[in-house]
Structure 1
């Protein structure tokens, strides 16, 4: 899945990397952003580009809120949208053709290991990895869908079956976000055939780096 991203982006980087304007100033993202909300917090903002305004980056709130949401507590359930099931889920089926690019510098996943450090999907030990597109460590886009709820732009990151690299890293659930090559940004925003972007129909070259000492997620925050 994809619950933690590197959102350390400046407005200058966003404008230069994606050739867009921004409707916000002095955005300062965080090196590690979790979609899960700590008690007492509400917004989890990330820059996104929507199909309706492809020349402008806006701040979206992570966790798509469909029209029937009564409040924002629902967002914890919609951080990710399984791309193979978009038409089957009431939360997502009205947003299938509301496409967005979620702008990041990377994303994080934990690899499950046994006590000897060997890969083990059932292992209790977790090792953190940072993954990014093979583009010279520049900002890149994840495929997303969105909905405007009570004047708030909310989004989900689409996930797909893991490719070979990510199946080894995310070795328990074997999922990954849909990472887009730069040349395919417009195609994602405008192409109704979303399954064209499901693995193995679509794949990109990813770089694995920043291996940390073995930790569990609870020790990081």
Structure 2
């Protein structure tokens, strides 16, 4: 799963990396933040691939009733790759509303007895990268969920209870994820764990 990320790179740097020509002017990097805070985070959406926008973490489907919205947002921080095409909250988004969440890293915990050992995960090159996500617009506010996959061997060791990990996309896969012409089969082919050799993990205090 993925409930805590790190976002420290300024938008002007992200714009250069992702060749975006439009960025919001009212965003400050959040640093380490939990999805349960439902922050606004930098995203590139399928329908506007040259623009960085701010979407709220915790997908609320367009059909959600107001009295259920907050509960739904807590339940949709992640979307499993093996059920994303079936679950009512996600199935309308996976085909036509995919996006990239721009992050510097994420956090996960290894359980050893009663102890929880925190790890910080990044790409091996230390550069910002993308997590594959889906989104929906509820009452004018875009909201998103991070797609998760089965864990690679590194993440199996770290996330040793659920053995899951976020969909980390290589730079070659990022634009494919945004391609509106992908078939269901092609989308499923992209929802695979990143090679552990492309990752770096460190225990943090």
The TM-score with structure 1 as length reference comes to 0.84
Map of 1:31 onto structure 2: 31
Shift of 1:198: 2.9
Match of 2:47 among 43, 52, 58: 52
Aligned residues: 196
Shift of 1:25: 1.5
Shift of 1:30: 2.0
Larger displacement relative to structure 2 (51-60 or 188-197): 188-197
Unaligned segments of structure 1, at least 5 residues: 38-42, 114-122, 214-221
Q: Does 1:90 align with 2:88?
A: yes
Map of 2:122 onto structure 1: 132
Match of 2:58 among 59, 63, 88: 63
Instruction: State the superposition RMSD in angstroms.
Output: 1.5
Between the aligned partners of 2:21 and 2:27, the Cα distance in structure 1 is 13
Between the aligned partners of 1:22 and 1:126, the Cα distance in structure 2 is 41
- Is contact 1:10-1:26 (8 Å) kept? no
Q: Higher Cα Rg: structure 1 or 2?
A: 1
Structure ranking higher in strand proportion: 2
The ranges of structure 1 where at least 4 consecutive aligned residues each deviate by more than 4 angstroms after the TM superposition are none
Between the aligned partners of 1:198 and 1:106, the Cα distance in structure 2 is 19
Between the aligned partners of 1:197 and 1:187, the Cα distance in structure 2 is 8
Unaligned segments of structure 2, at least 5 residues: none
Shift of 1:108: 0.4
- Is contact 2:134-2:147 (8 Å) kept? yes
Shift of 1:26: 4.9
The TM-score with structure 2 as length reference comes to 0.90
1:162-201 to 2 correspondences below 5 Å: 162-190=151-179, 191-192=182-183, 193-199=186-192
Q: Does 1:206 align with 2:199?
A: yes
Between the aligned partners of 1:212 and 1:51, the Cα distance in structure 2 is 34
